[in-house]
Structure 1
Amino acid sequence: MRIWKIWACAAAIAFAMSGASDRAAAQTYPNRPITLVIPFAPGGSTSIVGRVIADKMAQLLGQGVVVDNRPGAGGTVGTKFVAKSDPDGYTILLGYTGTLAIGPSLYKDVGYDPRKDFAPIGMIGNAPSALVVHPSFPAKSVAELIAYAKANPGKVNFGSAGVGSVNHITGEYFARSAGITLVHIPYKGTGPALTDLLGGHIPMALAPIPAVHANVAAGLLRALAVTGKTRNGLMPDVPTIAETGLTGFEASLYYGLVAPAGTPRPIVERLNKELQAALASDEVKKQLAADGTEITPGTPEEYADFIDKDEKKWSELVKASGVEQE
């Protein structure tokens, strides 16, 4: 009994000291620059959103927030890097539907668990994608695209940010729903995919609206549809895929911030506080709205719950599309 009491007392002291240490760390946090890992190449929607948030949070935190683009394997390379990083609040990740909801189902050994290996900080926002084609492509509507693909099976290529990215699975989901065959061309990010699309090297791509709307407005790309439940404010004349006849079709991506599991709670709370302040600022609201991103702020717990539900949804789409990787 005496030994048990000594052990219990020691455990209580250790717990108290741990809590005190976490609070002390939070009081001095941050005292050096923070690295925000974006798991895709520069130029895509993740970089657009991530850099807006990084710039504003740097002002609010009083420390630099350095963006580190780490592309590869549909964003899972950079995501795994953060999962294995020190949980001290100085390496955080721009979480994304492709990496936290799709990757774990797409790959047999993705190298991280979206529920266990991260401490959610908070959601940023969501945005649908656009189905865009090069102006030289003969289809001017989704119906014409489907008819063309049926007449030319296996000859219509589409680009995405990489194997396992949201728009890869969305493309497979679209093809399956339409009863057509599309050939996926993976790139190391949305930026490289759009470069090839603009150059006419591929005829079609699925890409986030923030990354394509300027080129659509300039007539350099043609938007056939958007993947959300409703039309997007940046492209009000472009129908949803569901409107074109594929009833019930909907696929949007979500962004948020996460840190490695084990990051002290006070640090997570500090980051969430400044993230909420950033999202509430007129400057960030204007920048994200201009890029078609709907702000959806929330608590760490709300984001954790969303990650769980989003992973379940997309895992079903991955299995239904039959695109699991070794």
Structure 2
Amino acid sequence: MRCTRRSFLGASAVLLSGLPPVRAAAPPSRLRLLVAGPAGGAVDVAARLAADQLKESGYLAIVENHAGAAGQIAVEMLARAPADGGTVLVTPPGVFTIFPHIYPRLPYRTADFSGVGTLCGYQFALAVGPAVKADTVPGFLDWARTRPEQASYGTPGAGTEPHFIGTELERLSGVKLAHVPYRGGAQAINDLAGGHLPAVISAVPNLVAQHQAGKIRVLATTGSHRSDFLPAVPTIGEAGYPQITGDLFYGVFASAKVPGDTLAGLSLAFARAAQATAFRDGLRRMSLEPMTLSRPDLAATMSAMSDKWAAVVKRSGFNPET
């Protein structure tokens, strides 16, 4: 199963149409939202927008940022919290769908957590800077093929989705591309715009402003549909590499030991928050797309993602110890 815009929107229509007024089943006085990212980042902003709307469902949501170890610290915090529904985690899916295939001694098990829902969707994109005279993915690959000593791409870090999108592009195109991992994406994009780095693979929200200012050129996005914020930019599938296609999201997760009625209350509360006009307007300002998955659809999507990334990681030969 591949997570597509159609499956996202179909699930959203079923989940969100005619939702009844909801009050959480025996809600705690406070709801801790653990965010796997720094304050001010996209996932943090999405969590805070949701926190404002959760008041309508009887929750007093308090956001806590735990950005260390690429999100692993936030997952550990959730694992140690009481399984009463008073603590949830907001994170991209990679901590559950990629890391188990990279790190054999993770301090947590994916089976110990349950999906509550999703807040929004986003895509990754391939962008080039002034060092590359190309306006298409094939053009960039032709440039890289004739300049093997310069052919490289930056990402927010080793073992991340952008890293493995790059290894797949390298494998499928047959063009050698050196990976340059950064500690986060901001410096990579600065180096790209400054002509010090040929290409970057990063989340669309990180690239829109620089692209619109003409400092970088986004060549393709990785979603199943063109980005609402870069409608003139083709998808990676349109560029000739449909195997790389994939939609991402910020998900909400809880302990798998939380009682079922409490999980159901949380799921409905987050679904209602995601419908709010103020929430959606806030997402759009961050170049994030409103998307909501039900708990069953989220579980199926996470399973499919895990299978996909397991194969990609194996093909890449990546070992974090080397």
How would you bin the TM-score normalised by the shorter chain? 0.7 to 0.9
Structure showing greater Rg: 1
Does residue 94 of the first structure (1) align with residue 68 of the second (2)? no
TM-score by length of 1: 0.81
Quote the Cα distance in structure 2 between the aligned partners of 1:42 and 1:171: 28
1:307 to 302, 310, 316: 302
Does residue 156 of the first structure (1) align with residue 154 of the second (2)? no
Does residue 190 of the first structure (1) align with residue 185 of the second (2)? yes
Match of 1:130, SS state, is strand
Question: Which residues of structure 1 form unaligned runs of 5+?
Answer: 1-24
Residue of structure 1 in register with 2:139 after alignment: 144
CA contact (8 A) 2:222 2:244 kept: yes
CA change 1:267–1:247 in 2 (3 A) is closer
Residue of structure 1 in register with 2:202 after alignment: 207
Q: How does 1:1-326 map to 2 (within 5 A)?
A: 26-27=25-26, 29-32=27-30, 34-42=31-39, 44-58=41-55, 60-72=57-69, 74-114=70-110, 116-153=111-148, 155-326=150-321
Q: Deviations over 1:212-265 (max 9, x none)?
A: 212211223211111122222211111112222335431332221001231233
CA contact (8 A) 2:44 2:65 kept: no
Aligned AA for 2:229? L
CA change 1:47–1:154 in 2 (3 A) is farther
Q: Deviations over 1:171-193 (max 9, x none)?
A: 21122222122222323333444
Quote the Cα distance in structure 2 between the aligned partners of 1:153 and 1:170: 19
Aligned length, in residue pairs: 298
Q: Deviations over 1:43-69 (max 9, x none)?
A: 544334333323333564441421414
Quote the Cα distance in structure 2 between the aligned partners of 1:290 and 1:231: 18
Greater helix share, structure number? 1
Q: Once superposed, which parts of structure 1, at least 4 consecutive aligned residues long, lie more than 6 Å away?
A: none
State the percentage of identical aligned residues.
29
Quote the Cα distance in structure 2 between the aligned partners of 1:264 and 1:192: 43
Residue of structure 1 in register with 2:9 after alignment: none
Aligned Cα root-mean-square deviation (Å): 2.6
Quote the Cα distance in structure 2 between the aligned partners of 1:45 and 1:290: 10
TM-score by length of 2: 0.82
Question: Which residues of structure 2 form unaligned runs of 5+?
Answer: 1-23
